[in-house]
Structure formats: structure tokens, C-alpha cells
Structure 1
């Protein structure tokens, strides 16, 4: 047992901060903003201390906390972190203060709007952090579902006139997935109960599911996978996301795509693969095929979009296809690449959508044809938009390149055809990113754009660290991979998957 409950402090700090923020006097909106920002920076410090003490080559789960919760049903408050979870924890705690600064004026003039807006963001952060470090299946499920509530209000209350409809669609899709998962959770408990007493401890369930009927495990795997595929999102369960991106505030959309949706792909690694290893291997070809469809379909649809925010949403969905493809390739390169991709995708998507959001907030429209010549009146905005766009198409030297490269290598040794088809998305991504930049930023200044201003200091504070991270992780991703690789090795050992031996090695003389 740890002397300091680091993981409890990690999520309780933003949870308590959310309550404090919303209870501050209504006449002090600036105080609410600064309080929320200070809390988010405090969470960043806690996560930094956690990362400094983490030992990549140590125990599988570190900083473990375990306390009785609902003993009648074998439910416990169990927290623990491995390298995969730690990478996503760090992504979350880095992005939240950036988003609070980016959305500094998003709440408008409504009474207590600033208080509620900032508190909701902190609440989402707390729930995501619990989901990432929970080792009890019920604890994970509760917060996996609970995060829908603050996200619903962030989307519906603070977006455009059509935002409530987008929020409702988001909620219905994710609630449907969650209910199916709930049935699967109950099934896991019933199937693994021993002597009338079951357990939701992940570490015990991994051992107990090995004795359950494989056909029953296949059904439960589908229940878990469906919920995570909605959250991720994967084709054909993705249609709720573009509406959220278009009608919610850019800050909210980034919180969704870069932070909340990561819980879906993370849960595939932690729960689908480890609780149902044989089912995961059986369904891997089908899921890999769906991932390839997600990649290509979303890239093609992105090219035809007329709204910049919807275009970025489809770009994000395409990238999620790469993440899922790497997970179910069942190779060390594929899964390390997928985990690194989760981190890099979060940074790149945040940069691209926030910069686009700064521009759209000035012009009042996301229609691409309304722009043109922006680089002449706002060169810094246009330049940073180009860097973020190049990161989204996985340009070498920027962070997403190495993660996408690892995913394709890891997939090729298992599913060569899937890797080759997925690689075609590189051409499609070049089309939608470069054409978008050409239409919006180059050429003569379109009427109405002459009044567009460049990034102000607050916006530079938001964009600069994201661009710096894209470059730093593109040039030197080793620190993150050193954390991720041992955890990926543990996951593959639980699944019983090994990296295929290349054909050239098989035929080499001894």
C-alpha cells in the first residue's frame, strides 16, 4: 500500500475543484475561471509526480489502492496504473488546462455560465482519469457512463442552436452502447462467480474467464466491443461525432475527440483483449477489416466536406481506425504504435481544431468557401494551422508519423492486405489537408476576411505548447515508448499473442 494515495488524489482534485468552482459567487466569473485553471494545473503537477515515480520495468500495475466498497457483490475501490494508462493520463492532464484557456470566453454572458462551464470540464477530467486507472470493472463502468452527463451539457448548452440535437444523438448512441456493455458486465460476473461469490477485480477476472465456455465469452466480448466502438468511434457507429464537432464549441469538441473518446480505444486494450483473449483473436480479422473501412471511408468523406469542423471530425475518425487496427493486429509494434497514436492524435487534433475554432469564432461560419487568403492577414494562425494539418497527415518529423508507421508495420506482418489498403489513406489525407489549406489560407483575400486578426497572446499560449509537443514527440518519441512498451508486452502475454516471424527470417539458412 502506498503512503500517498496518488491515484485517488489524481481524480479527486478535479472532482472537488469542480464542486468548488460551481459554488463560487455568481458575480465573480473570472474567479471561477482562474480557480478551474489552477485546479487543472494542480492535477498536472500530481500526474507529473506520479510519472516521475513510475517504474516502466516494475510491477504491471503500480500505485495500487484497494478498499472495500460493496462487499456483498465483490465490488471494490481498486486503482492501479500501467504504462498504457499513464501515457493517456498525461495526455489528459496536459490538454485540460490548455482547453480551459482556449475556452476562456466560451461561456458568454449567461449567469453562472463561466462557473458551470469550467466545472463541467473539470468533472469530465475527473471521470476520465478514474476510467483510466480503475481496476474494478464496476468502478470503470460507472465512470465510463457518468462522463456522458457533463459532456451532454457541455455540448447542448454551450454550442450553436443545433447543438442540443447533436448532444441528444451523442447521448443516445453512447447510452445504447453502455446498456449492452452492462449486460456483458453482469454476464462476466455471473459466469466467473465461484462458490456464490463473484469478483469485479480485473486481475482476478483475467484468470477466471479462462475457465468459462468460449461461446459465452464470445457473446460478452461483442457486448464490450460494441460499447467501446461507439465511444471510439468506429464505422458504422460514428455518425454522432461530426454533428458534435460542427455544433459544439471547439473546446468541447476537442475534449470529446482528444480525451473522452480515448477511453474507448484504451478499454479495448485493457478489457476486450485481457478478459476475452481467445475471442479477441477470433474476432480480430473482422475488427481489423472494420478498422480499414473506418480509415478509408472517413478519409474519402472528409474530402467532400464543406464545413471545416465536420472535416476535422472525419479526419479524427479515420485516425481512430488506425488506432483500432494496431490494437487488433496483436503485435508489439502495432499495439505500441496504437497507444502512442492515442497520445499523438490527441495533441494533433487539439491543435488543428482549436486553431480552426479561433478562426471560425471570428468569421462566425465554418463553411470552407467563406475563407481564402487568410495567410496574408493572419500569418501566424495560417502557419500553425499548416503545421497541425501536416501532423494530421502524418508528415515525417511530426508526432503522428512514428505512431502511424508502427501501426502499419505491426499490421503488415499479421494482415498484409489490410496494411496496404490502410496505407492508401496517406494519399487521401494529403488531399484533404492540403486542399483545405489551399482553399482557406492561400490566394486572394476573400471578402470579409480582411478583418480577420492574427492569434492574440492567449491563443498563442494555447497553440504554442501543442506545436512544441508535435515537434518534440516527432523527433524523439522514446520517453513515451519506454513507458508504453513493457505494458504492451504484458497485454500480449495475457492474450497469448506473439509477433509473427517474417517470411525472410523463416527461410533463412541456419
Structure 2
């Protein structure tokens, strides 16, 4: 195991597939799709030896690869994997193949589409595994390039505007983060996450930043925070999300919500949390209101949508802000006089579960809306459909499972994460949990309205007249996602056992003297 660079293989194998597609200029669309699917499955294949040799009891990174890269700047090629990274690697390995399967019948420039998708997969994996900011940031920014072209070239009528808005927002946020890490490098001489976390833990990092300038710790924190907040996105940095998700082709929407949005949450956990505990604790009371804005206003905005893809996009904003609510609630309680370990452990465990489970349910819902759009000749208004359950009972059943998973129905995967988040937040900041319940109510209203108007009642709308059930390859994206929704709903320990010791260690450092 030590002689095989498994983590590098994880990151670069999809890029090798993209390179192969670039060379095979005369291959058929079917051949291109098969090659892309096989290379996308490499993530799951390479995850098997990682799972078999992974030790959850070890808190630090495992399978570490660290080689000198740019010696003059003290930059190393540094990869590592812990329970958080492993969970997100698995999520990427699941969502990418099903997103490609969802795009199986795409004919226009299929080779380019598949190559861009593999580039996007490799960049996302690099973000989840890199432990030095220099190449972590390269992966972070490289993910924007294929995502931009996937939206612009294969998106809907407003795709060009949505693609540019997506890139401008995220690059703008990244510029602030880059400036923040440049300041960290000036103060410490390193951009290694582990070294910076160690300096932050003993107070040296804050001292070094303060020595450069009195307001530098807060300024650097703010720069890194903005870059991550735009990516999630945290309200009110979210305005790029609805058009990007709505105009992207179905497979790209699935990846954007299932994987790319998790890069921001990962950054909060990997960077902001360990490097800036003091500024994060000081800002947490205000940040709680921003997370609540995303939860409540996102849900109510979803209620007002007539475009089904925009509705699911706002639903994604709502669900991801539950994760940030839990993180900010834990950060606000840090340093308190009362023990917060039990509630903090619940909140953090719920956050990690929600990250994974939302990736499954949101990707499935975007695929279902994509099926509705394809069947109806491009329509996706909530008033364009009615009685789909009668015309396509299997599709309706599978879509219903995804919808109730997103709703948090007990027995499905979405319930456990949301329950733990509310359990933790209620134990730390009860008022915030009470306000967040408004978001739960609005979520139930718009999802049940979607279910009732599209799938039940008499057939209505021009789009439902000749609606047919799923057939052939159309089952492939939904079946594995729905199966995992049931499996993780009744056996969430399959995930929690990967990160429970890590969560316990995080919570154990929360009560300060």
C-alpha cells in the first residue's frame, strides 16, 4: 500500500480518461460515453483498497503522499485522506457515473462533454485530498473551467449569462481567499494545512498575523470566509446558484449540487474551522443569521418558483445552509462555560451525514426534473404537468423516494442527518433551531406541492399527454441512488463509522478554559 500512490491515482485517473478522449477524435459517441463511464468508475474502484485499509481510529491523514515541489516557496505536493475526505471521495465516485448515465443520450459533441466531465471529477477529487493550499487552490480553480463550458455549451436558453455569472462570482470569492492565504504565507512561511492548523492550535498563527498588522487576523479570516461562502453558497452570496443550476444540462446540475457545492462545506471544515477558531467564534452569532437566511428564505423562495429546476436549486441552498447552521452553532458555543461536547458531536455528525445524503437526494431530484423536461419537449413549469403517476408509475415511485428523502422522511437517508443537526443546534442555540423550523415547514410545503401537482390528480398540461415511463438506460441513474437512500436510512452507521472518531476529537477541543 505504501508504494502505490493511491491518492494520486484517484485524482489523475479521470484526467487520463479525458486525455484519452481528446486523442480518440474519430470514435463514436457510444464509445466516448463508455470510456468516460469506465474512467469515472475508477474512483469507486480505487476507493475499495482505501476502505479496506482505512483506520477510522486514526485522527490524522492516512495514505499520505508528500514530495517537495517548489522548494524556494516551501511548497510540497501533499495529499492525505481522513474520514471527511473519504466520505466525499465516495460521494464523488457515486455521483459522477450516475450523472454521466443521465447524459447518456446526449449526442451533440459527446466526446467533449465526457472529457469535460472527467476533468471536473478529477479537480473535485483534488480539492478533497490536497493538503497544501498551493495545489489545493489549483484544483479549486480548475474545477470552474469544465463547469463553465458544461453550462454554457449544453445549457438552456439563459446558459451563457448563467455560466458567466457562476464564474465571475466564484472567481471573485476565490480572489479574496487567495489574498488571505498570501498573507498567511507572509506571516508563517508555509501554506501546508496541517502545519497551519498546528500553529493555530497553540496560538502561534494569531500571534504571527497580529505581528504583521493589528487587524490582520480578522482580515485574513474574512478573505478566506468570503471565498468559501460563495462556493457553498451561504446567503446572501447565493445569487449565482439558481440560474447556474437551472440552465445547466441535467448531468451537470447533478454534479454541481451533488459534489461541487460540498467543496465549500469541506473548505469550512478543513480550512476555516481549524485555522481561525478565534475569529470564527467571534463572528458566529452573526453568521448564524446568515445561515438561517439561507434556510428560511431559500425554502420560501423555492415555494414561489414555477420552474421546477429553480425550485430544486433553492431547495439545495436551503439544505446546505443546515450544514452551515450546525457549524456556526458549534463555533458560537466554543469557549462557553457549559460542556458542549454531546450537542456539538450531534451537530457535526449531522453535518457530515447531511453533506453526503443531500448529494444523493438532490442529484436524484435534478435527474427526475430532467426526465420531465426531456419527455415534455423542454417544458419544466410546475403547471405543465399533472397525473404523471398514472402515465409513469415507476418513475413516479422512484422520484417520490428522492423527494421524501429530501424532505427528511424517517427510514430514508435524509432523516438522520437533519435530526442530528437539529438535536445539536437545539442543545447549543435553541432559538436558532426554532427559527430553522420555519424552513422545515416551507420545505414540506413546496415539495409536497410539487408531488401533488406534477404526479397526482387528473392529467393536465400539454406536457403530460403522451408521457411514458422510464425505459432502458433511464433506470440506471435512479436505481443506485434510491437504493442508497434506503440503505443509509436504516444503516447510517455505514457512514458514521468512517468519521465518528474524527468528530469526537473535534468536539473534545471545543470547551476552552
TM over 0.5: yes
Q: For each residue in 1:169-200, what CA deviation from the matched residue of structure 2 results, as whole angstroms up to 9, or x when unmatched?
A: 000000100001000010111111xxxxx111
SS of the residue corresponding to residue 424 of structure 1 reads helix
Equivalent residue for 1:503? none
Equivalent residue for 2:255? 255
Aligned partners of 1:22 and 1:32 also within 8 Å:
no
SS of the residue corresponding to residue 428 of structure 2 reads coil
Deviation, structure 1 residue 492: 4.0
Aligned partners of 2:59 and 2:501 also within 8 Å:
no
Equivalent residue for 1:207? 198
Aligned partners of 1:18 and 1:119 also within 8 Å:
yes
* Cα distance change on mapping 1:447 and 1:178 into 2, 3 Å: closer
The count of residues paired between Structure 1 and Structure 2 equals 489
* Cα distance change on mapping 1:81 and 1:130 into 2, 3 Å: same
Q: For each residue in 1:407-466, what CA deviation from the matched residue of structure 2 results, as whole angstroms up to 9, or x when unmatched?
A: 111111111100111122221111001111111111111143121111112111110111
Q: Distance in 1 between matches of 2:27 and 2:118?
A: 20
Equivalent residue for 1:44? 44
SS of the residue corresponding to residue 69 of structure 1 reads strand
Deviation, structure 1 residue 114: 0.8
Deviation, structure 1 residue 28: 1.8
Equivalent residue for 2:497? 482
Q: Which moved more, 1:304-313 or 1:392-401?
A: 392-401
Aligned partners of 1:178 and 1:227 also within 8 Å:
yes
Equivalent residue for 1:388? 402
Matches within 5 A, 1:390-409: 390-409=404-423
User: What is the alpha-carbon root mean square deviation over aligned residues?
Assistant: 1.5
Aligned partners of 1:273 and 1:491 also within 8 Å:
no
Matches within 5 A, 1:179-198: 179-192=175-188, 198=189
Q: Which moved more, 1:231-240 or 1:40-49?
A: 40-49
Q: Distance in 2 between matches of 1:471 and 1:59?
A: 29
Q: Distance in 1 between matches of 2:65 and 2:421?
A: 33
SS of the residue corresponding to residue 346 of structure 2 reads helix
Aligned match of 2:371 in 343, 358, 363? 358
Aligned partners of 2:383 and 2:461 also within 8 Å:
no
Aligned partners of 1:316 and 1:349 also within 8 Å:
yes
Deviation, structure 1 residue 18: 1.0
Q: Distance in 1 between matches of 2:115 and 2:307?
A: 30
Matches within 5 A, 1:165-314: 165-192=161-188, 198-209=189-200, 210-211=203-204, 212-213=206-207, 215-314=215-314
Q: Distance in 2 between matches of 1:275 and 1:217?
A: 10
Aligned partners of 1:329 and 1:335 also within 8 Å:
no
Q: Distance in 2 between matches of 1:266 and 1:335?
A: 12
Give unmatched runs, 5+ long, in structure 1. 193-197, 501-510
Q: For each residue in 1:224-270, what CA deviation from the matched residue of structure 2 results, as whole angstroms up to 9, or x when unmatched?
A: 11111111011111111111122111111111111011010011001
Q: Which moved more, 1:40-49 or 1:145-154?
A: 40-49
1:32 aligns with 2:13: no
SS of the residue corresponding to residue 95 of structure 1 reads helix
Aligned match of 1:123 in 111, 119, 123? 119
Deviation, structure 1 residue 490: 3.5
Q: Distance in 2 between matches of 1:230 and 1:445?
A: 41
Equivalent residue for 1:142? 138
SS of the residue corresponding to residue 281 of structure 1 reads helix
Q: Distance in 2 between matches of 1:271 and 1:33?
A: 36
Equivalent residue for 2:337? none
Matches within 5 A, 1:448-467: 448=462, 449-467=464-482
1:348 aligns with 2:361: yes
Deviation, structure 1 residue 120: 0.8
Aligned partners of 2:323 and 2:355 also within 8 Å:
yes
Give unmatched runs, 5+ long, in structure 2. 331-343
Q: Distance in 2 between matches of 1:287 and 1:457?
A: 47
Q: Distance in 1 between matches of 2:426 and 2:402?
A: 27
SS of the residue corresponding to residue 316 of structure 1 reads helix
Aligned partners of 2:180 and 2:223 also within 8 Å:
yes
